[in-house]
A and B are shown apart, each in its own frame.
Chain A
Amino acid sequence: MATNRTVQLRVNGVEHEGTVEVRKTLSDFLREDLGLCGTNIGCEHGVCGACTVLMNGETVRSCLLLAVQADGMELMTVEGLASPTGELHPIQEAFREKHGLQCGFCTPGFLVTTYKLLQSNPNPSLDEIKEWLAGHLCRCTGYEDILESVKLAAARLRGESDAPQPLPKSS
């Protein structure tokens, strides 16, 4: 039985193919083989949420999947949020403005889950936001600011005219 396999998958709209050892986790594959280091690896047993990505539209822990299991799947990592020209996604804008991060280690997971939450529920209650984000740990005690960030992002994505406008770009 071969210990290596070829996998083909689509990440952030780009087709990738690679040969991996079957025991390699998806999170390591994304970082080491595809160079997508935005996905951070924290606890490696599914508790911290830093490695969360979308697979076929659902949030998953990439540390709890083998790369071979993602063969044929469609993924989105945090790198898929900003536009190809580097314009931040409204969720990222909101996290920046509301100080939804300090060290930033947990942020990729929070952003990906927020993206999925707002896609399925554009107007979540505070409790719903908390329930979705409970699967993520932030050790810089930034939870209040993270909740503010998600609320702001939600308001802007709903196109509410009274939502505070994004800060002007620094030149």
Chain B
Amino acid sequence: MKPPRFEYYDPRTVEEALKLFTDQPGESKVLSGGQSLMPLLNMRLLRPKAIIDINRIESLKTVRPWNQGLSVGAGVAVLAIETDRQFAERLPILYDAARHIAHPQIRSRGTICGSIAHADSAAELPALAVALKAEMVATGSSGTRTISSDEFFISYFTTSLQPNEILTEVRFPAPPEKMAWSFLEVSRRHGDFAMVGIVTGLELDPTGKQIKDARLVYFGVGPTPVRLEEAEQALVGQAPGQPAFQAASDVASKTLDPDNDLHASADYRRHVAGALTRRSLDQAWRKLGGN
């Protein structure tokens, strides 16, 4: 038997789950898709007293329109991004990114909220949440509160969720209507965690000759997804095209401070981050009719 002993509960309502969860703060773990928690249990890196499996809570399995965007419950698998038309229609950048998120055999179980709550710094969904300015809905015994993506991710595998709170919903507002997006990542094998990845948004002014707004969010390069406002600022007001994109790329390579690890050196990551900055800006610009 691989996982250590634990008590197992599979409540049918959020209220029931919360009661179980808050009865033993810090000693129980919420199990949703299990694609991160189960490996930790199998390897006995975690020994929770109780597992609270939220897979049988039907009310968490909903995707509904919210603020021109979408609200996604904690029971919604990543696979829904590909199968539920609402994602392609309202959040096309999520749809474009979905095939980079692990493998089909993982997307079928792993959940959108689960990946965000797990907060792996090399994962795609936390970076997408930051780029799209998502709101996290934390439910605790005293009610719910929303946490902005800027305040949600604290460090490696660390979020601002309290020990007695469950992430029950993530709300993605509609991105600015005229913003074009690009999602790129470099990984050893398709579907693996990224060594470096980027979510890029680009918006031009009505004349199409000037950059009005930009979003550059990197992952795999630090303890949390990194939004690089310095690089965004280097773009705003400039004419779209290689000189501006190169300038932003230089800022990224200089400013980012990634770690060395088994998968890649810090220098290599900085180099790739710069290249992806250029490439993704170019890709977004093409979507706006640029060349």
Contact = CB atoms under 8 A, between A and B. Distances in A.
Interface of A: 1, 3, 5, 21-25, 28, 44-46, 49, 52, 58-61, 63-66, 68-69, 113, 116, 130-132, 134-135
Interface in B1-58: 1-10, 34-35, 38-39, 41-43, 50-51, 53, 55
Given A25-B38, A49-B103, 5 more contacts: A25-B3, A49-B105, A64-B35, A66-B53, A132-B103
Contact of A131 (B1, B5, B53, B190): B190
Given A23-B1, A52-B105, A44 B9 contact: no
Contacts of A113: 104-105
Contact of A28 (B1, B8, B109): B1
A69 B103 contact: no
Contacts of A25: 2-3, 38, 42
Counting contact residues on chain B (CB < 8 A from A), the size range is 20 to 34
Contacts of B103: 49, 132, 134-135
Q: Chain A's interface: helix, strand, loop or mixed, by majority?
A: mixed
B55 A1 contact: no
A88 B288 CA distance: 52
Contacts of A61: 35, 105-106, 109
B254 to A, nearest CB: 34
Interface in B91-128: 99, 102-106, 108-109
Contacts of B51: 22
A24 B4 CA distance: 10
A144 B3 CA distance: 36
Contacts of B99: 131
Contact of B8 (A22, A49, A59, A60): A22
A58 to B, nearest CB: 4
Contacts of B106: 46, 61, 135
B65 interface: no
Most B C-beta atoms less than 10 A away, residue of A5, A23, A52:
A23
17 contacts: A1-B9, A3-B7, A22-B7, A23-B6, A23-B41, A24-B1, A25-B38, A44-B2, A46-B106, A49-B103, A59-B104, A63-B38, A65-B34, A66-B38, A68-B53, A131-B190, A135-B104
B177 to A, nearest CB: 31
Contact of B190 (A1, A45, A130): A130
Contacts of A134: 103, 189-191
A69 B2 contact: no
